[in-house]
Amino acid sequence: MLSALARPASAALRRSFSTSAQNNAKVAVLGASGGIGQPLSLLLKNSPLVSRLTLYDIAHTPGVAADLSHIETRATVKGYLGPEQLPDCLKGCDVVVIPAGVPRKPGMTRDDLFNTNATIVATLTAACAQHCPEAMICIIANPVNSTIPITAEVFKKHGVYNPNKIFGVTTLDIVRANAFVAELKGLDPARVSVPVIGGHAGKTIIPLVSQCTPKVDFPQDQLTTLIGRIQEAGTEVVKAKAGAGSATLSMAYAGARFVFSLVDAMNGKEGVVECSFVKSQETDCPYFSTPLLLGKKGIEKNLGIGKISPFEEKMIAEAIPELKASIKKGEEFVKNMK
């Protein structure tokens, strides 16, 4: 009896989610078989905003696609395997999400991933520049502080660079900040919003707790501990997984949240704001994450850093040398590519 009742309810639920005739986003996930790629693809398949989901990897994508295709939501799903199938995966895409690459093991920094992931990102983004130059590009592959400059330089090489369409997905830092602040204050995390600016590694992650809504206050020692936990939260998960990987499920959630915000804005929804690591004039770093107003063509307006505390100013000053070095490393990598 229950299942008979459940069907109309789920159909009604799906209809109620579908508010816009423009819910037709064609999304590609590159690295769809991996630890982030699979749960991310599941979340995208579950969304009424997505009409076509194309999944690429160097292994297992036909299986992942077959599995997801049985889910009772309208997005069509197709798997693409290996470099020769990548162009077809990308054609006609509105949004490309790239979680491809190797994860951290205990004792590794995000920068230790550089050599492997830099090559992977450069190869995949070159294919995007050729086969879907107008698409929004969302980079999850670490180190984001370097893989975003890599993506920009690759797009420049192909003559199709648009800084308003290339995003470093730092959303997990915001998600963690919201969760940890809510936990400490006994608040509903869904109602907490902490902007996180800077970059996406260690001390370059700068949570602006002074700008949190609702307003929260912490004694300095508790604030220092909280910020340290947000900055090292990825390492917390790497250690807890004891060699079995890094943050995959929370990253998939954060990646999906960013993509849904982007697609909402592309569909004409107003007032959509997300932080992301992008080309920026807000500091003397050529790339920097700040809250961005998203629109139909990507970044509509960089909302900047806003009013911050002296403690937060000090964190920015301390982050900039490391950020600049990571950015330069990414740019140099593309310049030295064969």
Which residues are documented as binding site for substrate?
104, 110, 142, 176
Does some domain include residue 5? Answer: no
Does some domain include residue 87? Answer: yes
Residues 197 and 137 in one domain: no
Q: How many domains would you assign to the chain? A: 2
Residue 20 has pLDDT above 50, yes or no: no
CB 206 within 8 A of CB 309: no
Residue 231 has pLDDT above 70, yes or no: yes
Does some domain include residue 6? Answer: no
Does some domain include residue 219? Answer: yes
Domain boundary among 168, 199, 234: 168
Which residues are documented as binding site?
31-37, 57, 104, 110, 117, 140-142, 176, 251
Residues 99 and 153 in one domain: yes
Residue 103 has pLDDT above 70, yes or no: yes
Q: Give the pTM.
A: 0.93
Specify the pLDDT at position 305: 98
Residues 190 and 118 in one domain: no
Q: What DSSP designation does 290 have?
A: E
Percentage of the chain surpassing pLDDT 70? 93
- pLDDT band (50, 70, 90) for residue 243: confident
Does some domain include residue 135? Answer: yes
Residue 1 has pLDDT above 70, yes or no: no
Specify the pLDDT at position 247: 96
Residues 156 and 30 in one domain: yes
Does some domain include residue 234? Answer: yes
Which has more confidence, 91 or 22? Answer: 91
Tokens linked to 300:
């509509």
Domain encompassing residue 73: 23-168
Instruction: Specify the CATH number for the domain of residue 244.
Output: 3.90.110.10
Specify the pLDDT at position 8: 37
Specify the pLDDT at position 104: 87
Domain boundary among 138, 168, 198: 168
Residues 142 and 263 in one domain: no
Mean pLDDT score of the chain, rounded to an integer? 93
Q: Which string of DSSP letters, residue by residue, matches 13-60? A: HHHHH---TT--EEEEEETTTSTTHHHHHHHHHT-TTEEEEEEEESSS
Domain boundary among 110, 137, 168: 168
Tell me the catalytic residues: 200
